[in-house]
Amino acid sequence: MANILPILLFLCCGSAALAYRGPDLPPGPYCGITGQCCTKRQDGCSHRILDSVCYCDQFCKQNRTHDDCCPDYETVCLNEPAQPIPLQNTPCKYNNKRYFPDETTKQNCNTCTCVAESESTSNWQCEQKTCLMDEEIIENVNSRRLSWRAANYSEFYGKTLEDGLTYKLGTLPLSVETKRMGAIRYDKDIDYPREFDARRRWNSTSPIIDQGWCGSDWAVSIVGVASDRFAIQSNGAEKITLSAQMLLSCKRFRRDKGSCKGGHIDIAWNYAKAEGLVDDKCFPYQAKDVRQVRCPFKRNGDLISDGCTPSTPLRTSRYKVGPPGRLKNIEDIMYDIMTSGPVQAVMTVHQDFFHYRDGIYRRSRYGDNYLMGLHSVRVMGWGEERGDKYWIVANSWGTNWGENGFFRIARGENESDIESFVVTVLTEVASAYQKK
């Protein structure tokens, strides 16, 4: 015996009694078509309704818990006056689905509740948070002839802009101590190539890491730059990916404990200089900070006591870097990349940047222009496209984002402050492999 109750529940998710006459059920006629009213439950005494059948028999009257009677059973078979269909509970709609008052749904990053506003109307009432992904930004960027294009990233969809700024970036405002970092000057008067790409020049740069929902860009960009430089400065002998997790779990300074809520780059560089890092195979990145993943190593240990496998038989010590230094102009940045490898840059990120798909990024001013955050990234080189100059930069949001995890951004315009705080470092490579 078919029963329409499941359909009724599906439609209104509320009381079956309401749905029985609800505005959702086509009012008929059913029993009224033939005027046939049966005394017993008979399969022939039924009519199709939606995806099921309804009945016109006295069983309906005897047992009122049956809700599979046709909507016009009472008026046709019992001669009861037709009851007006109540107008309340007009559903709210979202994505072709109906929702009744008090039901909620998530619309991007906001929870919305269907609220009855009068007998016949109901409307969504939504939280008003700014979402990370914004359709208007995508539409505006892609309909204008900008130098870049935008996309909707499903991994970011449903998150708030605040979540993005906290957990997809992670560089804390530059402190007085950070800004005191010594400057490195080359002032070389040379002709720079139109294009330079560390990935092609050395064929040994480290992969794109996905920092996950952990504000660890400071750690990920540092290990990216340091790993690349170990490989380059050892002529490929020390081709390793260093452990960002070690910076998150092991670095304990009073000013900065190492956290998914952000870090200071100078403190992290100084940790890599003083304590040294292990490689990522030995302590893999887990997108969690010290509260969830404790440091498994002793202070001042080496790769042997840490239980890690050194990259060459010549090495037992952890991978240490020299003091970090700031590059203060574009030529010095280019010279340093060409001669020693990728550098770290701190840029300012606004909402539109999260939508970058490809091209040469320049801030569009679509979307939120008040909230922003600092982001540490790895600059791999530069180039020119139809005279438009750009930097090639590795991001830390996985290879699905942007141009296989990389992005290009205008060069020579201090776009998004990317030329304002650029950091280089030398590595302590196992001496036998050191470049002459």
Q: Nearer to ligand NAG by C-beta: 185 or 261?
A: 185
* Least CB distance to ligand NAG at residue 287 (A): 21
Q: Does 292 bind ligand NAG (CB under 6 A)?
A: no
Residue 179's contacts (CB-CB under 8 Å, 6 or more residues apart) are none
Phi, psi at 7, each rounded to 5°: -65, -40
Q: Is 375 a catalytic residue?
A: yes
Rounded Cα distance between 132 and 117, Å, is 30
Rounded Cα distance between 209 and 225, Å, is 12
Closest CA to 229 of 435, 31, 407: 435
Pairing type for strands 97-99 and 104-107 reads unpaired
Q: Nearer to ligand NAG by C-beta: 66 or 273?
A: 66
Among 104, 203, 339, 404, binds ligand NAG (CB under 6 A): 203
* Least CB distance to ligand NAG at residue 157 (A): 4
* Least CB distance to ligand NAG at residue 132 (A): 11
* Least CB distance to ligand NAG at residue 187 (A): 15
Q: Does 210 bind ligand NAG (CB under 6 A)?
A: no
Pairing type for strands 388-394 and 183-184 reads unpaired
Among 18, 417, 428, 433, binds ligand NAG (CB under 6 A): 417
* Least CB distance to ligand NAG at residue 309 (A): 18
Q: Nearer to ligand NAG by C-beta: 155 or 403?
A: 155
Q: Is 395 a catalytic residue?
A: yes
Among 420, 426, 428, 433, binds ligand NAG (CB under 6 A): 420
CA angle 377, 153, 140 (to 5 degrees): 95
Q: Count other Cβ atoms within 10 Å, centred on residue 109.
A: 21
Q: Does 365 bind ligand NAG (CB under 6 A)?
A: no
Task: Choose one: 116-124, 334-342, 397-405, 414-422; the region binding ligand NAG (CB under 6 A).
Answer: 414-422
Task: With beta carbons less than 8 A apart as the criterion, state whether 226 and 319 touch.
Answer: yes
DSSP string covering 135-184: HHHHHHHHHTT-SEEE---TTTTT-BHHHHHHHT--BPPPPHHHHTPPEE
Task: With beta carbons less than 8 A apart as the criterion, state whether 346 and 171 touch.
Answer: yes
Q: Does 369 bind ligand NAG (CB under 6 A)?
A: no
Residue 103's SS3 state is coil
Residue 341's SS3 state is coil
Q: Nearer to ligand NAG by C-beta: 210 or 289?
A: 210
Which one of 66, 375, 404, 414 is the catalytic residue? Answer: 375
Q: Does 266 bind ligand NAG (CB under 6 A)?
A: no
Interactions with ligand NAG, residue window 106-165 (CB under 6 A): 135, 152, 154, 157
Which residues sit opposite 170 in a β-bridge? none
Which one of 395, 400, 404, 414 is the catalytic residue? Answer: 395
* Least CB distance to ligand NAG at residue 237 (A): 12
Instruction: Give residue number: closest CB to ligand NAG.
Output: 154
CA angle 195, 198, 203 (to 5 degrees): 125
Alpha helix stretches (DSSP H) within 63-145: 73-77, 135-143
How many CA atoms are closer than 13 Å to the CA of 376, on its beta-carbon side? 30
* Least CB distance to ligand NAG at residue 330 (A): 8
Closest CA to 355 of 166, 170, 140, 162: 140
Task: Choose one: 73-81, 162-170, 296-304, 413-421; the region binding ligand NAG (CB under 6 A).
Answer: 413-421
Q: Does 419 bind ligand NAG (CB under 6 A)?
A: yes
* Least CB distance to ligand NAG at residue 380 (A): 15
Q: Nearer to ligand NAG by C-beta: 318 or 350?
A: 350
Interactions with ligand NAG, residue window 44-103 (CB under 6 A): 63, 65
Would you say the C-alpha torsion 93, 96, 98, 104 has a positive or negative sign?
negative
Q: Does 404 bind ligand NAG (CB under 6 A)?
A: no
**Token pair in block for residue 92:** 């709210």
Q: List, by residue number, the catalytic residues.
A: 375, 395
The site for ligand NAG (CB under 6 A) is made up of 63, 65, 135, 152, 154, 157, 203, 414, 417, 419-420
